[in-house]
Amino acid sequence: MLTAKKLVKVYNTVPAVRNVSITLEPGQIMALVGASGSGKSTLLNLLAGLTDADTGEVRLNDERVLGPSEVLVPGHKDIRLVHQEYQLMPNVSVRENIAYALRFFEKSYRDFRVNELLKLCRLTDVQDRIPRQVSGGEKQRTAIARAIADKPAVLLLDEPFSHLDLPNRLIVRDLLFDLVRHEQTSCLFVTHDATDALSIADTLGILRDGKLIQLGTPVAVYHQPVTAYAARMTGLVNILKAKYLSLLDLPESDNPESLICLRPEQLKLDDTGMPVTVRAVYFKGSHYELDVAVSRYVSLRLLTSRTDIQVDQVVHIRLRDNELWRLKG
Ligand code: ADP
């Protein structure tokens, strides 16, 4: 189990990580989502023992993870970090890149384990090519295979989905599922885009300005975000002041300035609903996203499978249920 307790890191006067505590159980996948500059990379480096914390500590089971100022070779043997740049050896094959991580093991075990990793990481077909001859997704999976070769307890990944096309994102998703299931590795990844995190992580955290402002299941964070930032980081959302609820035929709340979070799928087209004007129609493949004007100052996004909606058309909308989520800030 990896635990971080009240980690703090300040660069000069810039607080990069502020009082962050997390627990990562074996076989668990955690995603930390935050905008650029929210402290994701700094936190990963602290967890990996590659940056010294100002205060607080990281522990792997009962052992404290030492920072670079306390050891000769920075890092912990049971915690691996896969960077965005992959850092592969350019002149040797995919297979040899992975085997290098096992160079101190007996050859028969090394061969067996490399074959297993090639299969797990879907690299068997490209194992004899050098990094320059494989795709970005294959390079990344080589870096992951190398990182997990000698079965570390914890795998940390920096933006593992951001440079990949959809088929490769799905491969990495399946790979992480297989890894935690078969090897009980704990995975933590950071990302600025929660799309993949929602479907992969058991636990999702929201980082803002170095602070972990929310931690929970993806379902809980998506439906009950604590702030407008947490809501926006986890998907498309309508945020409107309570005083405008009457425009949707809903009772206003005690505090007219409080913010209401309405996911687009909470709204539907319904002939008995409130009339609104369509401002834009976006084709999304499986559905359309509509931007509708409720009043001069309020517009909302909603989703529909109807194909006949045009810009400037008047349609009627309604809330699917009267469950409203109020934000704290
Ligand atoms: P993210 O990975 O979410 O983009 P970072 O951890 O890289 O965020 O950065 C968090 C904050 O710390 C930013 O304000 C950044 O400018 C600052 N920072 C990061 N690394 C350094 C450094 N080596 N020296 C000074 N400031 C840094």
CA distances for 182 relative to 80, 122, 140, 174, angstroms: 18, 15, 20, 12
Cα-to-centroid distance, 39 and ligand 1 (Å): 6
Task: Name the amino acid, one letter, at 52.
Answer: D
Q: Which residue has the tokens 């593992």?
A: 160
Which residue owns the Cα nearest ligand 1 atom 21? 11
Q: How confident is the model at residue 329 (pLDDT cuts 50, 70, 90)?
A: low
Q: How confident is the model at residue 132 (pLDDT cuts 50, 70, 90)?
A: very high
Ligand 1 lined by 36 (C-beta under 6 Å):
yes
Atom of ligand 1 nearest to the CA of 12: 25
Instruction: Give the 3-state secondary structure of residue 15.
Output: strand
- Is the pLDDT reported for residue 246 higher than 90? no
Q: What is the pLDDT of residues 258-284, one digit of tens each?
A: 899 999 999 999 998 899 999 999 999
* Spans of all domains in the chain: 2-233, 239-326
Whether 2-233 shares its CATH topology with 239-326 is answered: no
CATH 2.40.50.140 assigned to domain 239-326? The reply is yes
Under a CB-based contact definition with an 8 Å cutoff, are residues 127 and 94 in contact? yes
Enter the DSSP assignment of 328. -
Q: What is the pLDDT of residues 177-230, one digit of tens each?
A: 988 888 889 999 999 989 889 999 999 999 999 999 999 999 999 999 999 999
Q: What is the pLDDT of residues 308-324, one digit of tens each?
A: 999 999 999 998 877 78
Q: Name which of 145, 134, 142 is nearest 185 in CA terms.
A: 145
Given the candidates 3.30.70.980, 3.30.300.30, 3.30.420.10, 3.40.50.300, the CATH classification of the domain at 2-233 is: 3.40.50.300
Q: Is 184 left (phi over 0), alpha (psi -120 to 50) or beta?
A: left
Ligand 1 pocket test, pick from 10, 42, 159 with the greatest ligand atom count within 8 Å of Cβ, gives: 42
Q: What is the pLDDT of residues 42-76, one digit of tens each?
A: 999 999 999 999 999 999 998 999 999 998 889 99
Rounded CA-CA distance 314/102 in Å is 65
Ligand 1 lined by 42 (C-beta under 6 Å):
yes
